[in-house]
Amino acid sequence: MSDKPEVAAIEAAYRARVETLFIGLATNLGDQPQGEQQSVDRFTKGLNTAKRARQLALDAVGAISPAAAAASRGKKTAKK
């Protein structure tokens, strides 16, 4: 992970967005239990959008995402 302040801000914004999405899901499930699948679909769409935005932002500032770093480490481990 990078020490860039931009990366920390991106990660914080991503965590905040996921938290907001989860709160919305929990609220919707409590308010409209019949619309469970619709609420889950909205959560999933929002989560996927947040993941994509996070990755695009990290790419824009030249950071390596945790997933990419893990995949890179896995490839290095696999090669002997």
Distance CA 31, CA 40 (A): 13
Checking if the pLDDT of 10 tops 90, the result is yes
* Full-model pTM: 0.74
Which alpha helices (DSSP H) does the chain contain, by range?
5-31, 36-60, 66-78
Mean pLDDT, range 51-80, rounded to an integer? 76
8 Å CB contact between 4 and 59:
no
Q: Supply the pLDDT for residue 80.
A: 44
Query: CA–CA distance from 67 to each of 23, 63, 72 (Å)?
Result: 25, 11, 9
